[in-house]
A and B are shown apart, each in its own frame.
Chain A
Amino acid sequence: MNLKTFLLGTCSAVVIAGLAQAETLTIATVNNGDMVRMQTLTDDFTKANPDIQLEWVTLEENVLRERVTTDIATKGGQYDVLTIGTYEVPIWAKQGWLLPLDNLGADYDVDDLLPAIRSGLTMDNKLYAAPFYGESSMVMYRKDLMEKAGLTMPDAPTWEFIGDAARKMTDRAAGINGICLRGKAGWGENMAFLTATSNAFGARWFDENWKPQFDQPEWKNTLDMYVKLMNDAGPQGASSNGFNENLALFQQGKCGMWIDATVAASFVTNPKDSTVADKVGFALAPDTGLGKRGNWLWAWSLGVPAGTQKAEAAQKFVSWATSKHYADLVAEKEGWANVPPGTRSSLYANPEYQKAAPFAKMTLESINAADPTKPTVKPVPYVGVQFVAIPEFQGLGTTVGQLFSAALAGQMTVDDALAQAQQVTTREMTRGGYIK
C-alpha cells in the first residue's frame, strides 16, 4: 500500500464517519409539565431516527423568549426547534424568522388540528408552527362549596352569576376565598386574563384606527367589576398572584372558583397534588350577554427557525412531537389524562380520553368559542384574544398590567389606572407609527 492509497483510504473513512455521524438538534423549550414529559419519551423518536440526536435547552418563559428573539434576529443559528406561543408565531412568520412547515409527512393529518388553534399558527395558508398543546380558559369551581352556597353553576355562566356566587362562597374565617384570579403584573399574567375578560364586556385595546380605548366605558366596567370582586371575595395579596400561585391556592382548597387556563384542569383533578381533586366542576368562561365570552386561546407550539442548517431533521422532530402517534405514546406510558390537550379533534373524539379527562368537553368548547380574528364585540385591527399580535404588545401589556395590578392593590384608583393606561398606550402607538 503506497502513501497515496493510504491517504485516500483515510480520507474516505473520515468522510464516511462524518456522514454516519448523528445530526444533533438543539431544541429550546419551557419547563411546563407536558414539555418535561416529552423529554422523557424521546427514545421513541431517536430509535426511529438513529441519525438524529436531541439536545434540550430549557429556560423560563420570558428568558427563553428573549434568548430566542436575540438568536433569530441576529441569525445566531443556535436552535433548530423552538417552543413558541401563539403570540409570536404571526409576528415572527411575517418577519421571515420561521420556516413554513411543509414537510411534516404524509400521515401527519394536518386537517385534524383544531381549526381555532391552527388558524392562529397559519399565515397565507402556510402552517408556521405545529401545536404541542393548546389551551383556552374556563371556570374551575368547587362543587361542594357551590352546593353549600345554595347555587348551581350553569354550563355557560354570566359575570353577574360569578360575582354573586363568589361573594356567597367566601368564608374568610375558614380561609376560603370565593374567587381566585390573576393579579400579578405581566402581559402574559394579569393582562391575559383581563384582556380576555374585557372582550366579554365589549372592550377592546384599539379601535379600527389603532386609537387606544382605555378611556371608553367598557374598560371601566371591566376593571371596576374585577377590582370590586377581588376586594370582596379574592385572596389577600392577590396583586402578586399569577397562574402558579392561584394553582397552589386552589389545590389547597382555598378558592371557591378559579378562572384560568384549561390546562390547569388536569392539575386540580390530580389526587396526587390536589386536596380537592374529586370536588372540581367546570364551566365556560363567563359573559355579559354581549355575545363574547372571556376565554382566551393559546398554544405552545414547535417552530423551526429560518437560520437552522437542519431543517429537514427539525421538521421530522416537530412532526413526531405533535402527531397522533405521540398522543398514543403518552396514553400508553402515562395514561390518557396526560396526553397534551387542545390540539387535535381526534383526541376529543376518543372515548378513552373522554373517560379519563372529565374536563375534555369543556376544554374543547372553550377552545372552539375563542376567535382570535374577531376577539371582541366591536371590530378590531389586530389578531389575538388575550393579546394584540404586534411586537409592541409585550412592553405595552406589561406596563398596563402594572397599572391594573396597582389598582387591585389599592395603590391607585381604577380611573387613574385607566387614564394612565390610555396615556402610555397612545404615546407608544404614536411612537410606533400606528397613529399618524
Chain B
Amino acid sequence: MARAVSTRRTAVFTIAAWIIALVIFFPILYTIITSFKSETEAIQGFNLIPSGTVESYVAVQSQSNYFKPFMNSVILSVGSTILALLIAVPSAWSMAFSPTNKTKDILMWMLSTKMMPAVAVLVPIYLLFRDFGLLDSRIGLTAMLTMINLPIVIWMLYTYFREIPGEILEAARMDGASLWGEIIYVLTPMAVPGIASTMLLNIILAWNEAFWTIRLTTTDAAPLTAFIASFSSPQGLFWAKLSAASTLAIAPILIMGWFSQKQLVRGLTFGAVK
C-alpha cells in the first residue's frame, strides 16, 4: 500500500516537473519553431507546426556574418570566466578559511554592487573606456564582464569552500604544504564540483550579458547579443529572422548547458544536503 502511494506520488511529481520544465522552456521552443517558418507564417498567430523552411537562416547569414560575433562571445565568456576564477579562488579561500570580523561586511559590499542599476554608471564607464582606448575591444569587455560577475563568483566559491573542513587544510599545512600548494593540491580538487558549476554559471551569465556588450562595442568586439539586437525592427516584420538569429545565438550555450547539466546540478546543490 505504502509502495503504491509512493509510486503515485513519484508519478505526480514527475508529471509536475515535466509541466513546469515545459512551461519554462516553451518560449525557447517557440523561438526555435518560429525560426523554421516564413515571415508570413510567423505573423499568422499561434502555430506549433512550421513549414520547415530555412530561408530565415539563409537570410540571417547573408545579412550578417555569424562567425565573428560567435567567436567574440566565446572569447569574452571564456576569458572573463578564467580571469574571474583567478581572482575569486584566492579571495574566497581567504574569506572562507581566514575570516576576520569584516569578512561578512566585505561580502555584503561586493554583493551590493550587483544591486546598482547598470545604466547609472553608463556614462562614467563609457568615458573610462574611451580614455583608455578600450571601446569596441575584447580586452576591455573581458575586464568589464569579469568585474560584473566577480561578486557572484566569489560568493558561490565562498559558499563551497565553507563546506570543506578546515582540518584537512590544517593537516596539509602540518605536512609542509605551502600556501599555493594548499590551494592548488588540496582545496581545488575538493572544490572541483563547486568551481565547475561556478565556471559554467559564469560562462552562461557572460554569454547572455546584453547591456554592456551592446553599449561598449560597435563591430570588432560585438558578441552574439549585438547580433540578435541587429534583427529587431521597429518598422517591418522580421519575426522569423529574429527567431533564427536568437536560435543561432542561444544554441551553443544551450548545448553546453545540456552536456554539463550533471556538473551544474551537482555544483549548485553542493553542500545543500548534509
Contact = CB atoms under 8 A, between A and B. Distances in A.
Interface of A: 26, 28, 30-33, 36, 39-40, 55-61, 63, 66-67, 70-71, 73-79, 188, 242-244, 247-248, 251-252, 261, 263, 267, 272-273
Interface stretch (B27-35, B123-131, B146-154, B261-269): B123-131
Contacts of A267: 236-237
Interface stretch (B163-171, B215-223, B250-258): B215-223
A257 B104 CA distance: 63
Contacts of B222: 57
B182 interface: no
B135 interface: yes
Nearest to B231: A31
Contact of A273 (B40, B226, B231): B40
A59 B229 contact: yes
A252 B40 CA distance: 9
B136 A252 contact: no
Contacts of B62: 40
B234 A30 contact: yes
A296 to B, nearest CB: 13
Nearest to A75: B130
A32 B234 contact: yes
A31 B233 contact: yes
A28 B222 CA distance: 13
A273 B236 CA distance: 11
B110 interface: no
B232 interface: yes
A55 B126 contact: no
B234 A61 contact: yes
A267 B238 CA distance: 12
B209 interface: no
Contacts of A32: 233-236
A248 B40 CA distance: 9
A58 B64 contact: yes
Residue picked from A31, A63, A247, most chain B C-beta under 10 Å: A31
Nearest to A78: B218
Given A57-B218, A247-B237, A251-B43, A76 B135 contact: yes
A267 B40 CA distance: 12
A79 B218 contact: yes
Contact of B130 (A28, A39, A57, A74): A74
Contact of A263 (B126, B136, B226, B235): B235
B123 A74 contact: yes
Interface in B206-249: 214-215, 218-219, 222, 226, 229-238
Contact of A243 (B230, B232, B235): B235
B214 A273 contact: no
A-B pairs, 4 with minimum CB distance: A58-B230, A60-B232, A248-B43, A31-B233
B137 to A, nearest CB: 11
Nearest to B119: A66
Given A58-B230, A70-B123, 20 more contacts: A26-B218, A32-B233, A32-B235, A33-B236, A39-B63, A58-B229, A58-B231, A63-B214, A66-B215, A70-B122, A74-B123, A74-B126, A78-B136, A242-B234, A244-B234, A247-B236, A251-B40, A251-B43, A272-B40, A273-B39
B44 interface: yes
A272 B55 CA distance: 14
Nearest to B230: A58
Contacts of B214: 59, 63, 67
A30 B233 contact: yes
Interface of B: 39-40, 43-45, 62-64, 122-123, 126-127, 130, 135-136, 214-215, 218-219, 222, 226, 229-238
A70 B237 contact: no
Contacts of A263: 235
A273 B135 contact: no
Contacts, number: 97
Nearest to B62: A40
B63 A36 contact: yes
Given A70-B126, A78-B135, A272-B40, A31 B230 contact: yes
Contacts of B126: 70-71, 74, 76
A79 B236 CA distance: 25
Contacts of A60: 229, 232-234
Nearest to B232: A60
12 contacts: A31-B236, A32-B234, A32-B236, A33-B235, A58-B230, A60-B234, A61-B234, A243-B235, A244-B233, A244-B234, A261-B235, A263-B235
Nearest to A300: B235
Contacts of A76: 126, 130, 135
Nearest to A31: B233
Nearest to A67: B215
A263 B126 CA distance: 36
A180 B16 CA distance: 41
Contacts of B136: 78
Nearest to B136: A78
A187 B119 CA distance: 20
B1 to A, nearest CB: 51
Contact of B237 (A55, A78, A273): A273
A31 B234 CA distance: 8
A63 B217 CA distance: 13
A26 B229 CA distance: 17
Contacts of B235: 30, 32-33, 243-244, 261, 263
Nearest to A55: B219
Contacts of B123: 70, 73-74
Given A32-B235, A32-B236, A33-B236, A55 B218 contact: yes
Contacts of A39: 63
B152 to A, nearest CB: 25
A349 B196 CA distance: 68
